[in-house]
């Protein structure tokens, strides 16, 4: 259970807080360039 929390939960919580802090609490960055779905996928 500890390993699951360490490798699966904590990294994504850190990512969530990093995202919120970078965008003043907004879920979606306002300046991000939006494309159609799949346009940024590299093949």
Q: Rounded to the nearest whole angstrom, what is the least distance from the CB of residue 5 to other proteins in the complex? A: 10
Q: Rounded to the nearest whole angstrom, what is the least distance from the CB of residue 10 to other proteins in the complex? A: 9
Using a 10 angstrom Cβ sphere, with 0-12 exposed, 13-18 middle and 19 or more buried, the burial of residue 23 is: middle
Q: Rounded to the nearest whole angstrom, what is the least distance from the CB of residue 14 to other proteins in the complex? A: 8
Contact between 30 and 23 under an 8 Å Cβ cutoff? The reply is yes
Q: Site residues (CB under 8 A) for other proteins? A: 1, 3-4, 7-9, 11-13, 15-16, 18-23, 26-29, 31-43
Contact between 22 and 29 under an 8 Å Cβ cutoff? The reply is yes
């Amino acid at each position: 259970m500890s390993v699951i929390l360490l490798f699966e939960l904590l990294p994504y919580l850190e990512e969530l807080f990093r995202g919120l802090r970078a965008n003043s609490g907004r879920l979606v960055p306002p300046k991000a360039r939006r494309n159609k779905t799949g346009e940024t996928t590299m093949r």
